[in-house]
Amino acid sequence: MNKYKNQYHSLVSSSKWSTMVRKGSTKLTLFFIIFLSLIAFGIFVPVFALLPSLSSQSLHHHQQQLLPATKKNHGYARKFEISDDKFWKDGQPFQIIGGDLHYFRVLPEYWEDRLLRAKALGLNTIQTYVPWNLHEPRAGTLDFEGIADLVSFLKLSQRLGILVMLRAGPYICAEWDLGGFPPWLLAINPAPRLRSSDPAFLQLVERWWGSLLPKVAPLLYGNGGPIIMVQIENEFGSYGDDKAYLHHLVSLARKHLGDDVILYTTDGGSRETLEKGTIRGDAVFSAVDFTTGDNPWPIFELQKQFNAPGKSPPLSSEFYTGWLTHWGEKNAQTSADFTAAALKNILERNGSAVLYMAHGGTNFGFYNGANTGSDESDYKPDLTSYDYDAPIGESGDVNNAKFKALRRVVEQYSSVSLPAVPSDNEKKAYGSIHVTKTGNLFELISYFDVVESDNPISMESTGQMFGFLLYVTEYTAKDNGGESIVSIPKVHDRAQVFISCPSEDGHGKPTYVGTLERWSNQPLTLPNTKCLSNISLLVLVENMGRLNYGPYIFDRKGILSPVYLDGRILRKWKMYLVPIINLNESPKINPIIRAANSGVITMSAHRRLKPKSGNASKEPAFYAGYFYISKEDIIKDTFISLTGWGKGIVTINNFNIGRFWPLKGPQCNLYVPAPVLQNGKNVVVIFELESPNPELVVQLVDQPEFTCGPRKNVHQL
């Protein structure tokens, strides 16, 4: 997306990395019985849960044979091309009326549902990004299964008669963590320069595209598949002007995809961004995007200057139907009539447009992105919801003014009759769930892998790519018993600070001191504490989503500077990797999971959980509860309301629904797709960072809500 583009003028360099020593913590502790219930609920796994376990159904029945490449239409071979400033499909003029719909933001069980709704909107083409980090979560470990099964998504689009514009990256933006780059790139030393012709970076891209592009090559339109165009990079003109980098990507794409497929770039509709982000000549088609409501035709005329003569069909490859929302902002909404009128202005003169978004979906797990303002400390993380005020809502709803208004416009220019509009999927309010506290984070750290270093190191350097990292060190109390000041000049993104004073039995419960935030970082005063030995300082850092746009995209997480106590640098750190599930990665066995599966102790897991009330200390803790769906009932979508809770993440049936932060808002309820649920018992586990709802209750309701927290003004289109 071409956002905040005027605020960025330079790149930042990366810092050096310190070395580390990894130690695996495998021993079982005296807390074993206390936390078995937590283990049974499945909140802790060493890595991430695979999505296919959500349903026994597969997508194999969607994988139909592709049409033969030799099929003729009026004497023309099956071909998609550009000439006379038009798109041509099988020898006939073709107007792209498309929309972005990202397979990685929708459960595979719902891909067909959302594609059919897009088709009912009148779209003949779907545009989707390919996030490198989803498909290669660890260096050399590729994943094209479950929600990452790109080939099945493309074949399903083919079966439904929908064309595809594939945005292959390697950078995608997309309000997606690190703009789609895998975070392990940030752990490489020396650091590769992302989005550049740095040979170290290009070598990694070559390896990635060497795996990706051969998978999609058989699905190109000329080979009988649905892919009519493949995008190179994304809005590079808003970032840099490294033409050698772009040319290398083109050569690499041609190597794997051949010379016939249309390669394209997308850049903001200004001369400056087009000068920097396009490749002159006829090797690559240059598309544009611009603010909805801008007069498109002068921009399309400018677009012609960056394409070869006769090779510039007017195309807005990101026609914004809504906008993104950050935590703490008012939920972004745009006028249905205004948006429809702007689309009509393009289509009525035979221009082409791709709606961004047609259907937004959800940032499940920890994959949401973030933006910055004037500097990298002006940090703005995105919501879990990626509804985007798109015509097809987050849960697939189409009974809304924007869908109807856009469909009326599309219907006037579509070359075929539009399908009937499906009804909205039914939602169900499953009611209240009473949860029980199963343990706090600090009592579980002996289960975690630990890394030791003289100085704090980044999350990526420890191997903890997402979620949370707990930093622990010790210091000596002042002889005079006075207060101390702790400061962490650079922390990404949010750090909760605790101190612990060991008691006579060797244990001491950590006491909350305060929170340091990337966007509001002030030193904290540590209270006067008398201890029998050194005082432990514990800093729990949350990675709230890496930047996906702008010059500060090299966005490492964790403590990125020395930690000072009264001006003195603290050393000898232990970093504990908190293993909470994410969207996709193969699990491995560890003693905790083995113990949970062995049935050695099951009483805690099977007891009836009863509600509790009363004030709880401000500590990171886990809460769990059950709800049941009758075996006779059809499972339906729902929303989990975290109103009254603080901040954290929620999982259902071992699937990471995403982050909640109703104190900040605006999102109150998280979308829970039906495929996550099951007939019988459903297990909800909440990792609450601060204070839980006093009644220890969550609600399953039948609608979204975006009215929580203090709200600020936000850019409205």
Contacts of 178 (CB under 8 A, 6+ apart): 133, 185, 186, 369, 546, 547, 548, 553, 555
d(CA 434, CA 698): 7
The one-letter code for the residue type at 608 is R
The whole-angstrom separation of Cα 451 and Cα 448 is: 10
Helix/strand/coil for 246: helix
Alpha-carbon span 496 to 691, nearest angstrom: 13
Q: HEC states along 140-209? A: CECCCCHHHCHHHHHHHHHHCCCEEEEECCCCCCCCEHHHHCCHHHHHCCCCCCCCCCCHHHHHHHHHHH
């099945």: which residue's tokens? 152
Say whether 235 is catalytic.
Answer: yes
Phi, psi angles (nearest 5°) of residue 532: -75, -20
| Residues 677/653, Cβ–Cβ less than 8 Å | yes
Q: How many CB atoms lie within 10 A of CB 21?
A: 9
Taken in order 168, 169, 174, 176, the sign of the CA dihedral is positive
d(CA 541, CA 561): 13
Strand partners, 669: 641
CA separation for the pair 219, 144 (Å, rounded): 15
Termini Cα distance of the chain: 14
**Whole-angstrom distance, CA of residue 539 vs CA of residue 258:** 52
Q: Which one of 81, 109, 318, 585 is the catalytic residue?
A: 318
Amino acid sitting at position 200? A
Cα separation of 59 and 63, whole Å?
7
Spatial neighbors of 525 by CB under 8 A, at least 6 apart, are: 483, 484, 485, 513, 514
Give me the amino acid identity at 482: G
Q: Is 318 a catalytic residue?
A: yes
Residue 212 in 3-state DSSP? helix
DSSP structure class, residue 119: H
Q: Are 107 and 675 in contact (CB under 8 A)?
A: yes
> Looking at 81, 175, 235, 443, which residue is catalytic?
235
With b meaning 16 or more CB within 10 Å and e meaning fewer, what string describes 556-575? bbbbbeebebeeeebeebbb
Q: Are residues 168 and 253 in contact, defined by beta-carbon separation less than 8 angstroms? A: yes
Cα–Cα nearest to 353, from 171, 173, 122 = 122
Residue 334, both tokens: 């745009």
| Radius of gyration of the CA atoms of the chain, in A | 26
User: Any idea what DSSP says for residue 461?
Assistant: H
* E runs forming strands in 507-591: 511-517, 524-526, 535-542, 558-559, 564-565, 568-569, 573-578
Name residue 306's amino acid: F
Q: Outline where DSSP puts E strands in 518-642.
A: 524-526, 535-542, 558-559, 564-565, 568-569, 573-578, 621-629, 638-641
SS (H, E, C) 58-88: CCHHHCCCCCCCCCEECCEECCEEEECCEEE
Residues known to be catalytic = 235, 318
